[in-house]
Amino acid sequence: MRSKMDQEFVAFLLVCLTAGAGYGQRLGSRLTARANSGQIWHGSRLNAGAGEIWPDSRLTVGGDCDFCSESSSILLLLLFSRVVKSSPSELARPHNLASIASSCLDIILFDSMLENSNVRKDGFQMSANVVEIMRLKAGVVTEDSKKFDGDGLEMKHYEETMERDVHRAIDLVGLDGIGLGLISHHQRLGKMFDIWCLHIPVMDRTPFEDLVLLVEKTVKAENSRSPSRPIYLVGESIGACLALAVAARNPDFDLMLILANPATSLSRSALQPLIPFLEAMPEQLHTGLPYILGCVTGDPLRMLMPSAKKELPLEQVIGEATQNVADILPSLSVLADILPRESFMWKLQMLKSASSFANSRVHAVKAETLILASGRDQLFPSKDEAERLYRALPTCQIRNFNDSGHTLLLEDGLDLASIIKAAGFYRRTRNLDYVGDFMLPTPFEFKQMYESFRWIDVAASPVMLSTLESGEIVRSLSGIPVEGPVLLVGYHMLLGLELGPLVSRFLSEKNILLRGIAHPMMFGKIWERLLLDPSGFDIFRVMGSVPVSGANFFKLLSKKSHVLLYPGGVREALHRKGEEYKLFWPLQSEFVRMAARFGAKIVPFGVVGEDDLFDMVLDYDDLMKIPYFKAQIDELNDGRVRRLRTDINGEVAQEDLHFPGIFPKAPGRFYFLFGKPIDTKVRKEELRDRDKAHELYLQIKSEVEGNISYLKEKREKDPFRSLTSRLLYQATQGSDSEIPIFEL
C-alpha cells in the first residue's frame, strides 16, 4: 500500500543509452586505475559526475582493501581531490577514489582519505578511513537468465538519491553499463523523480528488440500501478532510439520523452562511412580507438576548462587545466579495457539495428517529446535530426546547445533538471498544472536568471522605493508585506524591461519569489518555434510565471503567493510611439474581487526609465506598412496562440504580438515606487459588491498613475541619472558603493 505522499510523485523512467564511448570526456580526468571486481567501497555523500563533496552524514568505518591490476569487469574509477597524508611512488599526490563496482555488483561510491599505502607486485594495498554515502541498490525487476556470455540484465534503483518521502520507481538504462550519462544529474533529478537504471554489463549481447521488451515490461508495470501519472524516458544516443521504440509500441501510455542527440540520424552521421573500416580494424589497432572516439564524442576544451566558469584566479584555472590534461591522456586507455573489440563491434551492430528499428516506428509515437541537440556533435548531425524529428512527432520541443559535443549530459554547466523545468516539461499528472507542479528555483537557476538581466542592472542601476504603513517613502522594499497573499499591480514597461530587476531584487532583498501572471505566448510550444531562440522564455517559467487564467490566479492566491499582475498586458508592453507611461487597463475590474476573497494585500506600483534606455524607431503601425514585417506579424498572430480579451473592445483588446524597432541610447536610470499596501481583508464583505470593487479598482489605477508621475518628476532632480555620473561616482567611492538618488 503506497502512501498519499508517494502518490503525488511522477514515475520517471530514464533511458540513458549511449554508444558506449566518450564517457572519459567528463570523468576522464578522474580515471586512474582498475580495481578487483570483488571490491565494494563506501564513501562520503557526493555527486560523482561533478565531483562535489557533501560533508554531511559522516558515518566513519574502516578497512583494508586490495587493488589489483588484473580486472576485466570493473567499469570506472573516479578520482577526486583530497590531501594524502602519506603515499609512495605514483600515489604521491592529492587524490580521492570513488569506485563504481563491477558489472554484477551493486554500485557503491566511496570517498576515502589515504592513511598509508604499500605498493605490491600485483597492485597496492591501503588502509583508509571511509565515510559511507548513498548506496545504489539493486531493484526488483531482473532477468534471471544470462544473455550469451554477459552477466544478464537487471534494473537498479537509485533509491538513496531521492528525497526521503519519495519512493516512486524511475528507470535509467545505459549501454555503458550503469547509465553514467546521468550520474552527475542524480542529485538534482532525485528531488523531482525516483530514478531507475537498466544495468547492461559490458559483455552482454542482448539484441535491441529484447531491450525494448524489457523496458516496455517495466513501463507497463509502472503504468498499471499509477495510470494517472506520466512516465519519463530519457535517452541519449542509442537510448533515444530505445525511448522512441517503447513510445511507438505504447501510444496509449502517458509517456514523456527526453532525447539527447538521438542516434536515429546514423545514416547521415560521420560514423556511417567508418563502420566498415572499424569492423575490419585489426585487434592491435583497437587500443588507439578510445583516443579517437574521446575527441569525436566530446569537446575536450569544455571538459578541460571547468574552472573557467567558476571565476577562479587565472593561475588556478591554468593549473587545473594542466592537471586535467595529465589525467585524461592515460585514462582514455582504460576505455579500451571497458570496451574490448568484440564489445565495441557488438555496439556498432546495436547502433545500426536501433536506428533502423526506431526510424521505422517514429510515425506511431504520440508522446510529448523534448529533444536536446548539440551544435558541435562530431558523431551525429544532431541539430538537423532534431528538426527532422520535430516535423515527424506530434508534440515536440527542441533545446539547442550550440557549444556542446556529443556527450551532452556529461558536460559541465548543464543541469538536466533545470532544462526539464524551463521547458515546461515537468508534470505530476496527466495535465500540466503550472501552480501545483512548480518547484522553487535553485540558487543555480536564480544565478542564471540574474546573469540574463545583469546588463540592465549595470546600465540602468535600478532604484527601488516603497511606502511604509505610515506613508513614508523609503529606499528599500521594507514597505512590501512579507506574508502573503500579496498582489502587486503596476505598469508594464516596453518589452517588460522591468521584470529582471524586479524579480531579482525581491528575491535577493526580501527572499520573496514573485509569481507572474503572463501571456499564453510564453507557454505556447508552437509559438516558441517562431523565436530565434526557442528557450527565450525558459527563464520566466523557471522563476514561476503562469499563463493568465482565473484558475491559476485563484490557485496562487490560495497558496498565499506574491503575485505580479499587469492589467495592461501586451498592449502596454508593446505600446506605440508617444505612449510611454500610458495605462491600457480594461474598463472593468479583473482582479479586485478575487483578491478580496482571499484577503490579499494589493500593492500598486509604478516604474519609469524605458525612455532613458531606448528610442522607439518603428512601432506596430509603422511595421504594418512594410510588407515583410506585416507578413511576420500576421504569422505570429495566426491564431495558434490563444488570444485574450476577445470579448471586449477598445485599445486594450489590440494585442497583436510583434517586435518593435528600437534603438539604444546613452543609459539613464530605472525607478520603481511601490505604494502603500491596500488591505482587502478588512473590506472583504464590502468588496463583494461589484460597484465597491470597481471603486477600489479605479483607486488602484489612479495610484499607479500617481506613482509614475512622482517618479518622472523626481528623476529630473537625480544627479546620478546618467550612466557617466554613476561611473564617476563608483570610480571614486568604490564599485560596490550604493549610488545616491534624489532627495525623498
The letter for the amino acid at 554 is F
The letter for the amino acid at 612 is D
- 334 and 474 assigned to the same domain: no
Across the chain, what does the average pLDDT equal? 72
Burial of 37 (0-12, 13-18, 19+ CB in 10 A): middle
Helix axes 289-297, 314-338, angle to 10 degrees: 130
- 86 and 114 assigned to the same domain: yes
User: Does residue 300 lie within any of the structural domains?
Assistant: yes
DSSP helix/strand/coil, 121: coil
- 139 and 241 assigned to the same domain: yes
DSSP helix/strand/coil, 140: strand
- 248 and 193 assigned to the same domain: yes
The predicted pLDDT at position 221 comes to 85
Residue at a domain's end among 318, 347, 376: 347
User: Does residue 402 lie within any of the structural domains?
Assistant: yes
Residues 697 and 592: their CA atoms lie apart, in Å, by 6
| In contact, 369 and 246? CB cutoff 8 Å | no
- 574 and 709 assigned to the same domain: yes
Domain residues for 485? 443-612+666-733
- 380 and 246 assigned to the same domain: yes
Residues 415 and 413: their CA atoms lie apart, in Å, by 6
DSSP helix/strand/coil, 367: coil
Percent of the chain whose pLDDT exceeds 70: 62
The predicted pLDDT at position 656 comes to 83
| In contact, 239 and 353? CB cutoff 8 Å | no
pLDDT in tens, 504-517: 999 999 999 999 99
- 406 and 506 assigned to the same domain: no
* CATH code, domain with 189: 3.40.50.1820
The predicted pLDDT at position 302 comes to 52
Complete DSSP assignment for 211-251: HHHHHHHHHHHHHHH-TTS-EEEEEETHHHHHHHHHHHH-T
For the entire predicted model, the pTM comes to 0.74
User: Does residue 636 lie within any of the structural domains?
Assistant: no
* Tally of domains in the chain: 3
The predicted pLDDT at position 187 comes to 77
User: Does residue 436 lie within any of the structural domains?
Assistant: no
Half-sphere exposure of 651 toward its Cβ, with a 13 Å CA cutoff? 15
- 42 and 135 assigned to the same domain: yes
- 320 and 239 assigned to the same domain: no
- 244 and 330 assigned to the same domain: no
Rg (CA), the chain: 29
- State mean pLDDT over 465-482: 95
pLDDT of 244 strictly over 50: yes
Residue at a domain's end among 389, 422, 455: 422
Residue at a domain's end among 331, 347, 363: 347
Phi/psi-derived region of residue 609, left when phi > 0, alpha when psi is between -120 and 50, beta in every other case: left
User: Does residue 654 lie within any of the structural domains?
Assistant: no
| In contact, 14 and 233? CB cutoff 8 Å | yes
Range with the poorest average pLDDT among 168-172, 173-177, 206-210, 371-375: 168-172
pLDDT in tens, 303-330: 444 444 455 565 565 555 555 544 444 4
User: Does residue 432 lie within any of the structural domains?
Assistant: no
pLDDT in tens, 245-299: 999 999 999 999 999 999 999 888 877 766 676 666 665 555 555 545 555 455 5
The predicted pLDDT at position 153 comes to 54
Range with the poorest average pLDDT among 214-228, 464-478, 670-684: 214-228
The predicted pLDDT at position 64 comes to 32
* CATH code, domain with 562: 3.40.1130
pLDDT in tens, 190-239: 788 877 777 676 677 888 898 888 888 888 888 888 888 899 988 888 88
- State mean pLDDT over 351-358: 92
User: Does residue 639 lie within any of the structural domains?
Assistant: no
- 400 and 463 assigned to the same domain: no
User: Does residue 504 lie within any of the structural domains?
Assistant: yes
- 335 and 399 assigned to the same domain: no
**Residues 6 or more apart from 55 whose CB is under 8 A from it?**
44
pLDDT of 587 strictly over 50: yes
